[in-house]
């Protein structure tokens, strides 16, 4: 038994190394006092300093935050509704519309929305990107909220109704507080998906609007510079924080189901 486990351990350790080494290298070289991402020269915070004075990068980060804020708020409202509706009623069309955008190749939604916006004369920019992000975030929020509802006791809402609460009051004072962790987790997830999205943003942003991923894309298309490492490290920290908070609220989010007592 032990002997067999050793080989497994080694293979799995190699797998984890494969997953983490590239990210560690990005972080380590963000503190490296050399323009080349090739070997360690010495410690510096210059790249972070340069980053804070890079107007383009700051503008891109501002756009990304604004879009992510709007997209996560709207998609959380719509996604919570969709999750509740899918849990409570037998629906045909809504589950298909909620789940298909997640299942198809991302590029399809990107080009379909590009055609749609241009034909409707909607200027490509912050608004079109936010509308596109909402479209793919709704499904993720709906899934998280529905799984929260599935693990919940429906009789609580029914009891509130029996005691004379209107459907709206029962939802507001009983259901919503109970599913709140799922709603917040969904919102954080939507925020992360929006701030990280590249493919759909690429097609719907137009020429004038730059988000953080688009800025990173244009920088690495030209050259590898440690400034990209620095912005990557900051973005990774932000995502990590959001996801850890979200997974505390909804353990199913990370596939790590909470053990039932």
Partner 1 sequence: MAARRSGRLGKWLVSGPPLLYLLVFFAVPTLIMALASFRTPGEFGGLAPLVDEVGALDLNVDSYARLIAEPVYAQVFLKSVWYALVTTLACLALAYPLAALIARSTKKYRNLLLLLVILPFWSNFLIRIYAWMIILGPQAALARSVNGILATFGMEPVSLLFSSFAVLVCLVYVHLPFMVLPLYANLEKHDQALLDAAQDLGASAWQRFWRITFPLSLPGVYAGAALVFIPALGMFAIPDILGGPDDSLIGNVIKQQFLEARDWPFGSVLSIVLTVAALLLAGLAAWVGRGNLGTPSSARDARA
The token pair that represents 232 in the structure block: 């990557």
Q: Compute the least distance from the CB of residue 87 to partner 1, in Å.
A: 10
The residues in 42-101 that bind partner 1, with binding defined as CB under 8 A, are: 77-79, 81-82, 84-86, 88-89, 91, 93-94, 97-98, 100-101
Mapping DSSP to helix (H, G, I), strand (E, B) and coil, where does residue 198 land? coil
Question: Nearest approach, Cβ of 55 to partner 1 (angstroms)?
Answer: 20
Q: How far apart are CA 27 and CA 97, in angstroms?
A: 39
| Tally of CB atoms within 10 A around 142 | 29
* Residue 207, burial from CB neighbour count under 10 angstroms (0-12, 13-18, 19+): exposed
Task: Name the nearest CA neighbour of 197 among 80, 113, 87.
Answer: 113
Q: Report the C-alpha gap between 91 and 89 in whole angstroms.
A: 6
* Residue 240 binding partner 1, by CB under 8 A: yes
Nearest-approach distance from CB 119 to partner 1, in angstroms: 7
Interface residue with partner 1 among 60, 61, 70, 109 (CB under 8 A) is 109
Stretch that binds partner 1, among 51-59, 149-157, 176-184, 195-203 (CB under 8 A): 195-203
Q: Of the two residues 36 and 156, which places its CB atom closer to partner 1 in the complex?
A: 36
Residue of 2, 52, 259, 261 interacting with partner 1 (CB under 8 A): 259
- Give yes or no for residue 105 binding partner 1 (CB under 8 A): yes
CA 206, chain centre distance (Å): 22
Furthest-apart CA atoms within the chain: distance in Å:
71
Q: Between 16 and 45, how does the x/- string for binding to partner 1 read (CB under 8 A)? A: x-xxxxxx-xx--x------xxxx------
CB of 181 to partner 1, least distance (A): 17
Task: Give the Cα separation of 200 and 203 in Å (integer).
Answer: 5
Q: Does 112 bind partner 1 (CB under 8 A)?
A: yes
CB of 112 to partner 1, least distance (A): 4
Q: What angle do CA 142, 146, 148 make, to 5 degrees?
A: 120
219-238 residues in contact with partner 1 (CB under 8 A) are 220-221, 224, 228-229, 232, 235-236
Give the integer Cα–Cα distance in Å for 229 and 31. 9
Who contacts 25 (Cβ-Cβ below 8 Å, separation ≥6)?
A: 37
Count of residues touching partner 1 (by CB under 8 A): 86
Q: Cβ 215 to partner 1, closest distance in Å?
A: 10
155-174: which residues touch partner 1 (CB under 8 A)?
167
């Amino acid at each position: 038994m032990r002997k067999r486990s050793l080989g497994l351990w080694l293979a799995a350790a190699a797998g984890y190394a494969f997953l983490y080494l590239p990210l560690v290298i990005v972080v380590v070289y963000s503190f490296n006092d050399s323009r080349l991402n090739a070997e360690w020269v010495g410690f510096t915070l210059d790249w972070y300093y340069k980053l804070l004075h890079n107007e383009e990068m700051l503008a891109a980060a501002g756009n990304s935050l604004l879009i992510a804020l709007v997209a996560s708020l709207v998609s959380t409202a719509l996604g919570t509704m969709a999750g509740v509706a899918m849990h409570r009623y037998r629906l045909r069309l809504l589950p298909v519309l909620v789940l298909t955008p997640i299942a198809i190749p991302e590029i399809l939604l990107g080009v379909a929305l590009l055609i749609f916006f241009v034909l409707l004369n909607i200027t490509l920019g912050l608004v079109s990107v936010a509308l596109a992000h909402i479209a793919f975030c709704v499904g993720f929020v709906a899934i998280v909220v529905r799984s929260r509802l599935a693990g919940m006791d429906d009789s609580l809402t029914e009891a509130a109704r029996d005691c004379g609460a209107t459907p709206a009051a029962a939802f507001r004072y009983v259901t919503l507080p109970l599913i709140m962790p799922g709603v917040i987790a969904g919102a954080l997830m939507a925020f992360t998906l929006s701030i990280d999205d590249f493919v759909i943003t690429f097609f719907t942003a137009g020429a004038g609007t730059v988000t953080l991923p688009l800025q990173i894309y244009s920088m690495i298309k030209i050259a590898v510079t440690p400034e990209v490492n620095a912005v990557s490290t900051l973005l990774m920290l932000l995502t990590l924080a959001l996801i850890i908070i979200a997974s505390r609220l909804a353990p199913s989010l990370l596939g790590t189901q909470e053990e039932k007592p």
